[in-house]
């Protein structure tokens, strides 16, 4: 008798759970977000897929025929692949043991023909003409940073003001003092989470772009943090939907609830900004809405919306990192790296 009741309640609970999930999915699909997407036709074509065997990879950079990946679990490691991913070459950026370097916070960047190994804790920036060669120390004048774009003669970075408790942007030439623009990032609820986002560089326009995570605002500016331009993504979230609380015992601030991430990932290339949006448009239904990652395209010089395309999710995973070079899109999803041909020529000049 007891066994029969257990089976009954197990089945009953399972049916209720399925019914709840179906109702929740239906509710999500009916709930409007106040915007629609213009879907570009025949815009993306799968080219190659590679199982990387790890989720810890990120994109260092891509070029006309190569993809360069870093590995957060092995900070100095570089994986180099062609677009058809038939072969993986491994190289390393290494430093002398005598150098005080925060390997756990290190990230590799690529600008032009050089690799940069940087971490903002100690802080340090090293330039390498190529992998497996000796790096050149570039003085950062004790500019601590949590985001950085290393360029040929200077670096643009985001840092934290310990007195005002807020993020701000700054620029410095190697070996010189930094020039800051504290008001470029706009606070909302706080100076940390509400200003969090991604710092990008578009080599065609030579402009930097800051994409906020939790609201629809965009900022573009030159390498001196001047001539700024403000824009918005197509969604309607102008104010960050975040809940935070102070943890006095840890002297820190944390999220009280999961935040609404409006812009999940972004990259810039050829005068265009590509944003992986976390929100569904009102004209998106069914599998398209929940089994794909929507990429919205904007023009860098005025943030005009140009259209959208979709990247299928892999094993339930959306895009973890992405990069675009001319007609190629590289996307990391879970353990997989995918390469796509993009047909975006109709957008050029729009």
Nearest Cα to Cα of residue 61 among 276, 342, 328: 328
Kindly state whether residue 5 falls inside one of the protein's structural domains. Answer: no
Residue 27's pLDDT is 45
Kindly state whether residue 13 falls inside one of the protein's structural domains. Answer: no
Residue 346 has pLDDT above 80, yes or no: no
Kindly state whether residue 159 falls inside one of the protein's structural domains. Answer: yes
* Token pair listed for 255: 């999220």
Residue with tokens 């100690």: 122
Kindly state whether residue 66 falls inside one of the protein's structural domains. Answer: yes
User: pTM for this one?
Assistant: 0.89
Cβ neighbors of 226 (< 8 A, separation 6 or more) are none
Count of structural domains within the chain:
1
Residue 259 has pLDDT above 70, yes or no: yes
What CATH number has the domain bearing residue 99?
2.120.10.30
Residue 154 has pLDDT above 50, yes or no: yes
Kindly state whether residue 1 falls inside one of the protein's structural domains. Answer: no
Cβ neighbors of 68 (< 8 A, separation 6 or more) are 59, 60, 61, 62, 78, 79, 80, 110
Nearest Cα to Cα of residue 68 among 157, 131, 154, 135: 131
- The DSSP secondary structure of 136-181, one letter per residue, reads EE---TT---SEEEE-SSEEEEEEEETTTTEEEEEEEETTS--EEE
Kindly state whether residue 9 falls inside one of the protein's structural domains. Answer: no
Nearest Cα to Cα of residue 231 among 241, 243, 221: 221
Specify the pairing of strand 336-342 against strand 328-333.
antiparallel
Kindly indicate the confidence band of residue 25, based on its pLDDT and cuts at 50, 70 and 90.
very low
Residue 287's pLDDT is 77
What residue numbers bound the domain in which 68 lies? Answer: 33-347
């Amino acid at each position: 008798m007891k066994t029969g009741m257990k089976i009954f309640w197990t089945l009953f609970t399972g049916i209720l759970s399925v019914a709840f999930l179906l109702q929740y999915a239906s509710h999500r699909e009916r709930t409007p977000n106040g915007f629609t997407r213009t879907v570009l036709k025949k815009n993306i074509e799968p080219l190659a897929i590679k199982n990387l065997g790890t989720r810890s990879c990120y994109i260092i950079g891509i070029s006309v025929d190569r993809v360069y990946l870093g590995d957060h679990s092995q900070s100095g490691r570089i994986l180099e692949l062609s677009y058809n991913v038939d072969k993986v070459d491994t190289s390393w950026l290494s430093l002398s043991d005598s150098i005080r370097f925060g390997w756990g916070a290190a990230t590799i960047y690529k600008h032009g023909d050089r690799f940069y190994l940087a971490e903002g804790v100690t802080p340090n920036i090293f330039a390498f003409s190529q992998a497996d060669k000796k790096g050149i120390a570039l003085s950062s004048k004790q500019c601590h940073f949590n985001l950085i774009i290393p360029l040929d003669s200077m670096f643009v970075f985001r840092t934290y003001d310990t007195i005002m408790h807020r993020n701000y942007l700054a620029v410095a030439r190697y070996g010189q003092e930094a020039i800051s623009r504290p008001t470029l990032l706009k606070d909302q609820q706080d100076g940390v989470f509400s200003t969090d986002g991604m710092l990008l560089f578009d080599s065609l326009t030579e402009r930097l772009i800051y994409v906020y995570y939790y609201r629809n605002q965009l900022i573009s500016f030159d390498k001196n943090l001047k001539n700024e331009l403000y824009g918005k993504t197509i969604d309607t979230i102008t104010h960050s939907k975040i809940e935070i609380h102070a943890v006095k015992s840890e002297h820190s601030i944390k999220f009280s609830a999961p935040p609404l991430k409006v812009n999940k990932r972004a990259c810039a290339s050829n005068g265009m900004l590509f944003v992986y949006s976390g929100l569904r448009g009102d004209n998106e239904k069914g599998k398209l809405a929940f089994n794909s990652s929507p990429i919205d395209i904007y023009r860098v010089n005025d943030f005009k919306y140009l259209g959208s395309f979709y990247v299928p999710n892999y094993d339930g995973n959306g895009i973890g990192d992405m990069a675009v070079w001319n007609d190629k899109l590289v996307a990391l999803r879970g353990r997989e790296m995918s390469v796509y041909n993009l047909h975006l020529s109709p957008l050029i000049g729009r």
